[in-house]
Structures are given as C-alpha cells and as structure tokens.
Amino acid sequence: MTGNDEMSAAAWLARVDKVLKGADFDRALVSRTVEGVDILPLYSKAIGAARAVRAQLGRWTVTQRVDHPDAASANALAKADLEGGASALTLAFAGSAGARGFGVAADRLGDVLEGVAFDVVSLSLEHPPFAYEGAIEALSDLATRRGYDIGRLLIDCGVDPIGDMARTGTKPADAPIGPALGEFLRQLRGRGFASPVFRADGRIHHEAGSSDAQELAGVLASALSYLRWLEAAGFSLEDARGAISFLLVADADEFMTVAKFRALRRLWREVEAACGLGASPIQIAAETAWRMTTRRDPWVNLLRATTAAFSAAIGGADAITVLPFTAPLGLADAFARRMARNTQIVLSEESNLWRVADPAAGAGGFEALTNALVEQAWSLLQTIERAGGGFLRCSRAGRGRRRSRKSARSAPN
C-alpha cells in the first residue's frame, strides 16, 4: 500500500483480525473510561464538527498561585513569577481549600502585592469558606489607593458559596445564598468590579473522586443556581451570565481532559439556548489535578502536569495554573514554581499550542469523546434538576457524594 491508498473500515478490520489471530477485538484494542465510554483504536474524520474556542483567541493566561504565609516571601515569589513569564496571579488566602494549610493574609495584601502592576496582571481570589468580603474589600481599597480604576482591572473574585457548602456541609445564616446573592453582586458592581464575581468550581467534585462527566454536571448545576438566584434578584440573564466564571481540573488523562474542556463550552451553549440567550464565550480556568500528584518520587508530577497543561491548552482553557511538582510536600520553593510556569511557557512558545484555535476539532476520536461527555453530563444535570432544581438539594441528600465515591472506586489504579 502507498500513503495515498484508502481502506474501508471493513478491510481494515479484516487485517486487524489477522493480526489478532482470533483474539477478541474489544478486549485487545478497546479501552473504557470510568464513565463507560469506549475508546476505539481508530476513528474516521468527523465532518462538520463544531469548534469550541476560548473567549480570547491567542495565548492562554499563564497563572501562578501565591500562597506563602509570609508576606515578604509571597511578594518575592510573585514578582519572580511575573518577571519569569506569568501574566496572572491567584491569591490563595489563609483558610481557603486551595491554600492547603498555608495562604496569604488579607490584611497583608499591600505587602504581598507591593510592586505588582494591577493594570497589566490578572488577579484571581480564593477565599476561606463564606469569608469573601474581607479580601475583596482589601483589594478594592488597595487598588483605589494606588490610583487604579477597578472597572478596568481583570479581577476574578472567586465567590463560590455553593462549593463552600458542598465542601463544609454547612450554611451560615449570612452566606450569600438565594436573594442575598443578588445584593452581594450589586455591592461589588457598585464598587466598580466589572469582571466575573461567582465561580463554578470543579475542584470540589474532582477531589471527591468525581468522573469527568460528574465534574461537568456539578459546575453546570452550580452555574445554573447562580443564574436563577441572580435573575430572581432582578438581574437580566445577560448580566447574570457575565458574573460567572468556570474552573475545571486538568489531569494526566489527555484525551478525556481535552474532551472535558471542549464539552463545557458546548454544554453551556445548550444552557444559553434554553434561557433564550445567544452564544457568548465563557471564561474557563484550568488547574492541574491535586489528586494525581504524589509525595513519593515527586519528579513524576512534572510529567503529569505537563500532560495536563497540554490537554487544557488543546481543550481551550483561557487560563492555566500548573501546581508546582513539590506541592504535595508543602510550600513550593522558587525552583518548583519556575518549573511550573516554564512548563506552560514551553508549551505555548516552543510548541506553539496557542496558534491554532481548537486543534481537536474534526478529529474523530476527540469529537466522539466530547460528544459522549456532553450526553452524559447533560443527563446527570437533568438528574440534579429533577432532584429539586439545583445542586444544593442533591448535595444535601448525599447523591453527589455517593456518585463520586462510586466513580472513585471504579477508577483504574
């Protein structure tokens, strides 16, 4: 055969059967995901596939976490990150889940961000459960004192009361839930905050053992709850959706991670259509998976994080955070942080992954996996909705935790 010869599927299967010598095709060549999706050894080209592209074409945002409890050390690390190629910082405050027992103090924010130009650096916030106002107010006051117009800054406030309730199993009386959510947004808009305020965060689901479809359904259910509450509080659906951002986890399963990020954009378009809204790009951040990291032989984490970052970039993430390879051992030093950001920079600038919008479009395997995740996540979302119209009721009943535990048990070792 020459490189230009074509072969029918039947002819290919006949040749494969000869090589297998009677062995079962499915057992030998077909693998299955936790969701029960078959991954075939060969796919044909997908014709007319929809493209899932990030909100802003071009390079994704290279994000670094700032979580050192000593303000001077946090500042030095943050400035080294920015000087070394990062373009965004995530401020993990003490008590937040992502700080992993460390974290910056809100009352030392001025010292932590000394010398950081707010107008050229994107900022994202991670709070202790239900404690949002202190850090947001501190950042607002700091920006005002330094002469910045809050409305022109890229600040993702990272408010996620639904995620906090799922994580802690509690609901404080003053939590911004239901009608209070609208008042909370009005206050921030009144201060000038124009970027997304609420975050539908997939980490709580992923770290609990959820499958990719369950993670997608969870973030969609959270976002839908925020939409409903804001609409009930008097916001238009157009304004409400602009107040929501998403965060998904990227792990070392390359194919499923690419499909997951692509699937979220398609699923959200379905939500927009059901709400009578036209399609509008959403902001999707990615963070490499905490649950795939290892304390023993942590150098392996470099390989896993590279695969995860590659997959998130191919899948269309707007911003990517690579956890330092020593994160399971405690606070990362300058070397581990440099490796984390350089992983992204090499993928972007040397591999040129940013130059093609949705490179997986039309690839039969990626399209099949994306379609399967869309169908499964939509079905799970409908189950959550039937449970009472929101993620919270399903979570209180324990259904979400049971499904996550079942997925974790069935995952391959």
Tokens 């659906």 correspond to 237
Contacts of 2 (CB under 8 A, 6+ apart): none
Average pLDDT of the residues in 90-112? 96
DSSP conformation class of 250: E
| DSSP letter string, 143-179 | HHHTT--GGGS-EE--B-HHHHHHHHS---TTS--TH
- 79 vs 32, more confident: 79
Confidence of residue 341 (pLDDT cuts 50, 70, 90): very high
CA-angle at 53, arms to 276 and 292, nearest 5°? 110
Distance of CA 395 to the CA centre of its chain: 20
Nearest Cα to Cα of residue 391 among 132, 242, 205: 205
Q: Which of 81-90, 129-138, 166-175, 371-380 has the lowest mean pLDDT?
A: 166-175
If we measure between CA atoms, which residue out of 113, 29, 126 comes closest to residue 72? 113
| pTM metric for this prediction | 0.91
Class of CATH domain 61-405: alpha beta
Q: Average of pLDDT values for 180-205?
A: 95
**Domain residue ranges of the chain, discontinuous segments joined by +:** 61-405
**Please, what is the Cα angle at 296 between 295 and 301, to 5 degrees?**
65
Structure tokens at 221: 């259910």
